[in-house]
Amino acid sequence: MNSKSMFKIFVAALLVVSLIAPAISEIIFEERFEDGWHKRWVKSDWKRSEGKAGSFKHTAGKWSGDPDDKGIQTASDAKHSAISAKIPEFNNKDRTLVLQYSIKLEQDIECGGGYIKLLSGFVNQKKFGGDTPYSLMFGPDICGTQKKKLHVILSYQGQNYPIKKELECETDKLTHFYTFILRPDASYSILIDGRERDSGSMYTDWDILPPRKIRAVNAKKPADWEDREYIDDPNHVKPEGYDSIPRTIPDPKATQPDTWDEDEDGVWKPPRVPNPAYKGPWKAKKIKNPNYKGKWKIPYIDNPEFEDDPDLYVMKPIKYVGIEVWQVKAGAVFDNVLICDEPEYAKQVVQEVFANREIEKEAFEEAEKVRKAREEEEAQRAREEGERRKRDRGYDRRNHRDRHRDRYRRRDRHDYMDDYHDEL
């Protein structure tokens, strides 16, 4: 084989590689919180000087499908917990961005966040906190029974924009996966436990850019616009004499009473009854209007203030992933953090972890039985303790009443004897 042929083969191989390369998916960052995780994550000192800094512990939680599958759990009530990890720099231009993680809210959270953040630029991880700029914030935020919000906040040119939709998160105490997918066409999908919960476009679901189209508020309905869906049938003509048909007629079955006296009662007239020939006011039959154009709506026109940004979906290069939450009651287990460009791989992770889903449910149900039994036992002990204290104080309602009655009896007898002696 000569050198020219070898060169052609080499060029062809390069071409094949160049065609295949863009299709190769990449896992940018994946964290299962196995041994050594603390070397990759930096706990922030944010709020430490105020005594409000929370902590994390490495655990699978109180119930788990796999006790060896551990995550990091918030461990301090009413504290700000912040931790972050540096990741290989990721630029999502012309690429799909997938952010996924799992969270298990073991506690009765009452009020607190369970979201995760992607950060760009340099971040002092020891000072990472609520005021640190981020590119994406995603995940649940719960407060009471009313607020069960799923946040999706995107940063654009230094300003944060929350999604306009009202999205709800899960609130039970089992593990749930949250997945956000952002594509180069600015479309997105939100998945919970591997199933799509919502989808749309950055152009319509965030107030980042002015809308492409706006209503033509000055538009008027054309004079010839036909918005009547049905019209009178022109071939249905009112019969001649229709309007002269009376509503009522004399009752043909009525007869003049034998006792009727015209001199005294006047001329007898039979009572009137509904006329069976009377059909009510005449109405023409309705037919479909052949010229019907539908209900007129104010049209949309191009918005003169709209200026497209083909890179609307592009974030500043992602360099860090962080968890920064405040919770009234701690106990949220974060795990399975994934940043990649392949949604199918993210689904595989969900399926892998959920292979033990039933085991986790059973462990949770068993833990609930134990908890309820313990609470009932404690309540019973409290009731028994209350009764014991009453007995120790000698408190008996019947004896208490009798003692008061005897005292009044003695007093009444004493008063009577005093009156007797006075009389003597």
Q: In 3D, which of 95, 169, 194, 138 has the Cα closest to residue 322?
A: 138
Residue 396 known to bind ligand = no
d(CA 390, CA 394): 6
| Residues 6+ positions from 158 with CB-CB distance below 8 Å | 133
Residue 141 known to bind ligand = yes
Residue 115 known to bind ligand = yes
Residue 420 known to bind ligand = no
With contact defined as beta carbons under 8 Å apart, do 265 and 322 qualify?
no
Beta strands in 248-331 (DSSP E): 248-250, 272-274, 286-288, 300-302, 318-327
| Residues 6+ positions from 334 with CB-CB distance below 8 Å | 71, 72, 73, 101, 102, 103, 114, 116, 323
Residue 117 known to bind ligand = yes
16: tokens are 């094949």
DSSP at 53: B
d(CA 326, CA 357): 28
d(CA 150, CA 155): 17
With contact defined as beta carbons under 8 Å apart, do 75 and 58 qualify?
no
Beta bridge partners of 41: 85
d(CA 360, CA 177): 14
Residues at the annotated binding site for an alpha-D-glucoside? 115, 117, 134, 141, 324
Residues at the annotated binding site? 115, 117, 134, 141, 324
